[in-house]
Amino acid sequence: MQNLTIAVIGSGPAGFTAGIYLGRALLKPTLFSGSSMGGQLMFTRDVENFPGFPDGMRGPEFMLNLQKQATKFDAEIRYEEITAVDFSQRPFRLWTSLPENIDFQDFKRFSNQELLKATELIKKNKKADYSAQSVLISTGSENIRPGVPGEKTYLGKGLGFCAVCDGAFYRNKKVFVVGGGDTALGDALALRKFTDQVFLVHRREQFRASKILQKRVFDDNNIKILWNTEVKEILGDQQRVTALKLLQKGLEKEVAADGIFMAIGHLPNSALFTNQIEMDERSYILTRQFGSQQALKKLSKEQEGSSSNHFPTMTSVSGVFAAGDVSDSRYRQAIVAAGSGAMAAIDIEKWLEIVDKS
């Protein structure tokens, strides 16, 4: 088992920013990025609202720059997936192994219940791979899957969650995007590079996306908007998507389709930490920085009389911190995630100083 001072789980804007700050504090953090680093911004075509980049920047390029900056200050990045944790006592224990007959792709597709069973097996049958004096959770969020009929059958066969990644496969094809936020409208605009048959499906009468994205969509005559519409089923020939069953204003209809991208929101990547730390009713990790009043009262009771009260990014477990979208159910912005990563790094540095003196 390898002993670490600080383990950062996740490598989006929060994790990398924390890595920069912790590295500059000479604390030699170790970032576990998993097999794919960078978080949601790796699937974002243009980052236009991050200060300092007046011309914007491609999401993947932005993340690679953050990675370079973190490694410049001796943050070590490991492309390993954390598969189980034990926060019951310090030093905290981390696993990167899996039970036999389970590969990482299956592991990442597990439901919460399947994941919990797998982590218990790992902790029971495997020795921990790492220990850490402090842990920062910055695992971000993941796409919500609607659970409509046909979803499992056609995932990767015409159904996707990243138009920026897969748009080139739909050159001159008829493609649908489902959602009404920034991601959905951004996906529709990204697809226009490849096809003039883009349909934006939204269950309400107005978008919640930023005004500038709405204007770009409204100004593009080749993006057709289907208001008050829901996808009821994804249809195909077992090999690929061929049609969608839609419900529009109470009437069902079937429309031909070559592809569909779901962009209906995100959920926190927190399942790995279930029963280890306190979360709210939507599974966002509780810290003093973010959370409802009811959640904050619960956290205050947990931390009463402890030094945790002085550290806004600390979770209900002393020494375990959280930053970014995994703990932020309100803002969910790259700049907020980066800022909370910086805050967590400063909290960790100060907390370790206190612990080392005691």
Q: What is the CATH number of the domain that holds 188?
A: 3.50.50.60
Looking at the fold, whether 238 and 294 belong to one and the same domain comes out as no
CA 297 – CA 317 distance, rounded (Å):
15
> Can you state the percent helix, strand and coil of the chain, rounding each to 5?
35, 25, 40
Which of the following is catalytic: 166, 258, 280, 328? 166
Looking at the fold, whether 21 and 92 belong to one and the same domain comes out as yes
Looking at the fold, whether 228 and 287 belong to one and the same domain comes out as no
Which of the following is catalytic: 162, 182, 258, 325? 162
Looking at the fold, whether 25 and 128 belong to one and the same domain comes out as yes
CA 236 – CA 244 distance, rounded (Å):
8
Per-residue pLDDT for 345 more than 90?
Answer: yes
Per-residue pLDDT for 318 more than 90?
Answer: yes
Which domain does 69 fall in, by range?
Answer: 2-143+266-357
CA 142 – CA 82 distance, rounded (Å):
16
Q: Is 220 one of the catalytic residues?
A: no
Of 215, 241, 262, at which residue does a domain stop? 262
Looking at the fold, whether 10 and 129 belong to one and the same domain comes out as yes
Per-residue pLDDT for 225 more than 60?
Answer: yes
Of 209, 235, 262, at which residue does a domain stop? 262
Note the pLDDT tens digit of each residue in 86-125: 999 999 999 999 988 888 878 877 888 888 899 999 999 9
Per-residue pLDDT for 321 more than 60?
Answer: yes
Whole-Å CA distances, 207 to 46, 185, 225 = 20, 9, 10
Which of the following is catalytic: 46, 74, 129, 165? 165
Q: What are phi and psi of 272, to 5 degrees?
A: -60, -20
Looking at the fold, whether 209 and 352 belong to one and the same domain comes out as no
- Provide mean pLDDT across the span 267-286: 93
Indicate yes or no: pTM above 0.85.
Answer: no
**CA angle 342–344–347, rounded 5-degree value:** 110
Radius of gyration of the CA atoms of the chain, in A = 22
Of 212, 245, 262, at which residue does a domain stop? 262
Looking at the fold, whether 307 and 341 belong to one and the same domain comes out as yes
> Number of H helices and number of E strands within the chain?
10, 19
Q: Is 46 one of the catalytic residues?
A: no
User: What local confidence, expressed as pLDDT, does residue 324 receive?
Assistant: 95
Higher pLDDT among residues 62 and 331, named by residue: 62
Looking at the fold, whether 50 and 132 belong to one and the same domain comes out as yes
Looking at the fold, whether 248 and 278 belong to one and the same domain comes out as no
Query: In this structure, are residues 38 and 84 in contact, taking their beta carbons and an 8 Å threshold?
Result: no
Per-residue pLDDT for 181 more than 70?
Answer: yes
Looking at the fold, whether 155 and 254 belong to one and the same domain comes out as yes
CA 277 – CA 316 distance, rounded (Å):
6
Looking at the fold, whether 113 and 12 belong to one and the same domain comes out as yes
Q: Is 165 one of the catalytic residues?
A: yes
Q: How confident is the model at residue 291 (pLDDT cuts 50, 70, 90)?
A: low
Looking at the fold, whether 195 and 133 belong to one and the same domain comes out as no
Give the chain's domain count: 2
User: What local confidence, expressed as pLDDT, does residue 107 receive?
Assistant: 84
How much of the chain, in percent, has pLDDT values that exceed 70? 93
Those residues with Cβ within 8 angstroms of residue 246's Cβ, 6 or more apart along the chain or in another chain: 201, 226, 229, 230, 231, 232, 252, 253, 254, 255
Note the pLDDT tens digit of each residue in 19-75: 999 999 999 999 999 876 777 787 777 788 899 989 988 888 999 999 999 999 999
Q: What is the mean pLDDT of the chain?
A: 91
Between 126-130, 166-170, 285-289, 290-294, the lowest mean confidence (pLDDT) is in 290-294
Helix axes 13-24, 59-72, angle to 10 degrees: 20
